[in-house]
């Protein structure tokens, strides 16, 4: 044995007090500088004796490590080797118990220079394969590589149930100036719980969860769980190939918006898991004919009443409903049934939970330091610093992650308006103008364009959908034209005006008909989705059914008329769960939908049948979707009959030459012999009538269809006399 204690007092103190930022340079095995042998060091708590033995080559020397002073640092040297070799440590504690393991400080870094460079410049597209926790086999040893970004931390340790949550056991090394800390811990397996213990920039000790955690304990617990998200066996290649070639703008799309925890429950309080949900959800969505489902955020969130919009685990499907592969099973099953899946994605903000992203290393790392830029006024949350390369990379890679690992067909981006404007919900003096003195958040704009470009190029066929509530121009136009690059945009103006109209007593509607016609003045500015979403059935607004005026018959008729108008109007469709059968109560995230209503009387079942038939006809008729955004795909026949509150319009498909006529009678007053203009001659058959007995209507209409007369009205070459039932949508198509 050579003489021990080769460390300086300062080096020993830095290890013993856990402030050395690169402990691997001192711990582990290293050749002696004079070539006389090798030295090995380790920091082991609770050890009485530490012996080093070779792992692979028995000819290599074995030797004992001695405790240095009163510390938990052990050091030993041998002249019998001139180069480092693989070794195990056998540790005996004071009670005589032994354990043998590979030394975590004997492995090279698992994060390469290229990875660090791409991350620091904001361009690492597979960042989720680098940071976080990843199962690896190094030198024949299975374990987990941990890596986390905390550039201003003084020390970072990974703690977990594999080291008794002791930050002294696995202090990580800082990789150059990247801000990334890393360590490979042998013998840690899938299912291990872990967090990061951080000595922050101010000398305070914090415990944080992993920003890249792929799976978490059930809330309110917060530990991340080591998990392999690549082991699921997908069988949706045909779906993905077809999606890649499809043009969503010229395809039918009716979206059923779902909150996973409250659609249906197994008991009074317990929600279905991802796998349990698959069969009943697929059966229901298929039976009603929706083309897509959209899930409120599925990323991990500690606060259930946030409905998922206050995300604490951006890379993890919430564990409330199962494992990541359980969620993959649900997506795979939906694809197998021909149903697309959209998830709500929340890059606008994150909660202030001290164990998550907020002040991650003791500084404003993910958020802006100035609350005028970094604090959200409405929700009490924090706003991402979109100008920081690493933060942009965190978010952009997260979007790609959901597409890559979970085969998501669309990302609906929440609260885009709050990202675009520096003065969003702020008074004068509460915001900081951009470099040109304006209110536009230039960094967020650049990020959104970058995000949309990445999705479009890396995952062609995947939609991006903006919930943007202002008149920001060209949200759904490509960046090279000056747009933001989204595929689609929610038409919040249509939603607001339409619901405002329908809640009025029909006697007053004649004065507000422009509420229904105004949307066509700007329709061709964007690729719109028509949303009747969860936001419209909460916070005292009342359910859609509750907002409809009149007695039960009139309220149900109004609701059928509203939904029919939505389905016939140009744009893709979105409807929140429960609205499809006229749930009376507001949505309650803590209870399942009021499914019992379907057996309580004819009106709710009638609305549900109406939605099913709307979807069936919608999907079968290209005139209702192929020309959604074509100038000749829609025209008003008559939008000026305010006195009778009657509207009529045509949907047209230029490829097939098909015409579909929609006539809305928006009052309880029926009209017999009402003349409506028609664009082409011949027989027109009634294909939908919201007043049919099947839907609990009074069963009047035009069951024999109409024949176009050579009589021009309303700028149409032909016309016919119609019977317009009360509070009804009548749809006719050329034979």
CA distance 217 to 442: 37
How far is residue 568's CA from residue 587's CA, in Å, rounded to a whole number?
Answer: 26
Instruction: Dump strand ranges (E) for 55-154.
Output: 63-67, 73-78, 87-93, 98-102, 132-138, 141-149
C-alpha separations of 375 from 46, 208, 357 in Å: 45, 20, 13
How far apart (Å, rounded) are the C-alpha atoms in residues 277 and 271? 9
Sign of torsion over alpha carbons 543, 544, 550, 552: negative
- Cα 618 to Cα 248, 283, 567, 655, distances in angstroms: 15, 19, 7, 17
Long-range contact pairs involving 470-478 (C-beta distance under 8 Å, separation at least 24): 470/417, 470/420, 470/421, 472/417, 472/420, 473/525, 474/525, 474/526, 475/416, 475/526, 476/526, 476/527, 476/528, 477/526
3-state class (DSSP) for residue 215? coil
Give the tokens for residue 445.
């704009």
Write the CB contacts of 374 (distance below 8 Å, at least 6 apart in sequence). Answer: 364, 367, 368, 382, 383, 385
Helix (H) or strand (E) holding 659: strand 658-665
Cβ-contact 94, 32 below 8 angstroms = no
User: Is 686 in contact with 703 (CB distance < 8 Å)?
Assistant: yes
Q: Which residue has the tokens 């719980």?
A: 193
How far is the CA of 690 from the CAs of 465, 582, 614, 616, 675, in angstroms?
Answer: 30, 14, 10, 14, 19
Would you say 331 and 406 are in contact if contact means Cβ atoms under 8 Å apart? yes
- Cis ω before 220 (30° cut-off from 0): yes
Phi/psi for 46 (5° steps) reads 75, 10
Which of 360, 314, 346, 396 minimizes the C-alpha distance to 124? 396
Name the nearest CA neighbour of 429 among 352, 379, 377, 378: 377
Q: How far apart are CA 732 and CA 613, in angstroms?
A: 14
Q: Which helix (H) or strand (E) holds 282?
A: helix 274-288
- Alpha-carbon 323 to chain mean position: 16
Query: Chain-centre distance of CA 366, in angstroms?
Result: 18
Q: Could you give the angle at the alpha carbon of 109 between the alpha carbons of 106 and 112, nearest 5°?
A: 160
Q: Given 325, 353, 414, 515, which residue is catalytic? A: 414
Of the residues 467, 594, 613, 686, which is catalytic? 467
Instruction: Quote the CA–CA distance of 80 and 62 in Å, as a whole number.
Output: 9
414 assigned to active site: yes
Task: List residues with catalytic annotation.
Answer: 414, 467
């Amino acid at each position: 044995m050579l003489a021990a204690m080769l460390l300086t007092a300062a080096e020993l103190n830095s290890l013993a007090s856990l402030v050395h930022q690169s402990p691997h340079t001192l711990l582990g095995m290293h050749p002696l500088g004079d070539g006389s042998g090798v030295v090995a060091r380790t920091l082991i708590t609770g050890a009485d004796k530490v012996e080093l033995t070779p792992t692979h080559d028995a000819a290599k020397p074995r030797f004992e490590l001695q405790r240095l002073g009163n510390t938990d640092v052990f050091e030993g040297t041998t002249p019998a080797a001139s180069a480092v070799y693989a070794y195990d440590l056998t540790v005996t504690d004071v009670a005589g118990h032994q354990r043998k393991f590979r030394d975590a400080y004997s492995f090279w870094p698992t994060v390469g220079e290229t990875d660090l460079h791409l991350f620091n410049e904001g361009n690492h597209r597979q960042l989720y394969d680098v940071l976080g926790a990843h199962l690896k086999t190094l030198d024949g040893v299975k374990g987990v590589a941990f890596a986390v970004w905390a550039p201003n931390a003084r020390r970072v340790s990974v703690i977990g149930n594999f080291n008794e949550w002791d930050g002294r056991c696995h202090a990580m090394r800082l990789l150059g100036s990247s801000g990334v800390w890393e360590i490979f811990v042998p013998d840690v397996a899938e299912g291990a719980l872990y967090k990061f213990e951080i000595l922050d920039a101010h000398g305070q000790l914090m415990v944080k969860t992993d920003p890249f955690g792929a799976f978490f304990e059930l809330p309110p617990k917060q530990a991340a769980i080591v998990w392999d998200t690549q082991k699921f066996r997908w069988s949706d290649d045909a779906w993905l190939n077809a999606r890649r070639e499809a043009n969503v703008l010229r395809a039918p799309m009716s979206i059923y918006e779902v909150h996973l925890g409250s659609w249906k429950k197994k008991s009074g309080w317990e929600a279905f898991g991802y796998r349990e949900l698959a069969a009943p959800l697929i059966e229901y969505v298929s039976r009603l004919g929706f083309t897509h489902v959209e899930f409120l955020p599925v990323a991990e969130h500690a606060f259930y009443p946030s409905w998922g919009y206050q995300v604490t685990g951006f890379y993890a499907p919430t564990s409330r409903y199962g494992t990541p592969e359980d969620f993959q099973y649900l997506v795979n099953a939906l694809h197998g049934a021909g149903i697309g899946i959209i998830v709500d994605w929340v890059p606008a903000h994150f909660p202030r939970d001290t164990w998550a992203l907020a002040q991650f290393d003791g500084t404003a790392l993910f958020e802006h330091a100035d609350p005028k830029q970094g604090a959200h006024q409405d929700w009490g949350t924090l706003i991402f610093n979109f100008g920081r390369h690493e933060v942009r990379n965190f978010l952009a890679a997260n979007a790609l992650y959901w597409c890559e690992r979970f085969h998501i067909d669309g990302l609906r981006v929440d609260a885009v308006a709050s990202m675009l404007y520096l003065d969003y919900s702020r008074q004068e003096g509460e915001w900081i103008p951009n470099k040109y003195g304006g209110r536009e958040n230039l960094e967020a704009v650049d990020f959104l364009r970058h995000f949309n470009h990445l999705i479009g190029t890396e995952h062609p066929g995947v939609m991006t959908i903006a919930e943007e509530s202002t008149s920001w121009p060209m949200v759904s136009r490509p960046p090279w034209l000056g747009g933001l690059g989204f595929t689609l945009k929610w038409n919040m103006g249509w939603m607001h005006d339409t619901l405002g109209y329908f809640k009025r007593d029909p006697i007053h509607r004649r004065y507000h008909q422009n509420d229904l016609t105004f949307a066509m003045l700007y329709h061709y500015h964007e690729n719109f989705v028509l949303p009747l979403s969860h936001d419209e059935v909460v916070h005292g607004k009342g359910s859609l059914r509750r907002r409809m005026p009149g007695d039960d018959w009139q309220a149900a008729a109004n609701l059928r008329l509203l939904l029919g108008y939505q389905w016939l109007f140009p744009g893709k469709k979105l409807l929140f769960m429960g609205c499809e059968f006229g749930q009376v109560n507001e949505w309650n995230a803590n209870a399942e939908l009021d499914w019992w209503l379907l057996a309580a009387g004819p009106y709710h079942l009638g609305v549900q049948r109406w939605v099913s038939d709307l979807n069936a006809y919608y999907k079968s008729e290209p005139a209702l979707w192929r020309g959604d955004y074509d100038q000749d795909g829609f025209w008003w026949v008559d939008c000026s009959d305010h006195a009778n509150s009657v509207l009529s319009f045509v949907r047209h498909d230029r490829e097939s030459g098909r015409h579909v006529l929609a006539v809305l009678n928006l009052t309880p007053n029926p009209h017999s012999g009402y003349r409506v203009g028609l664009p082409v001659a011949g027989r027109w058959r009634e294909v939908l009538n919201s007043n049919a007995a099947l839907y609990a209507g009074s069963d009047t209409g035009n069951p024999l269809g109409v024949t176009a007369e050579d009589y021009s009205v309303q700028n149409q070459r032909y016309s016919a006399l119609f019977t317009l039932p009360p509070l009804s949508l009548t749809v006719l198509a050329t034979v």
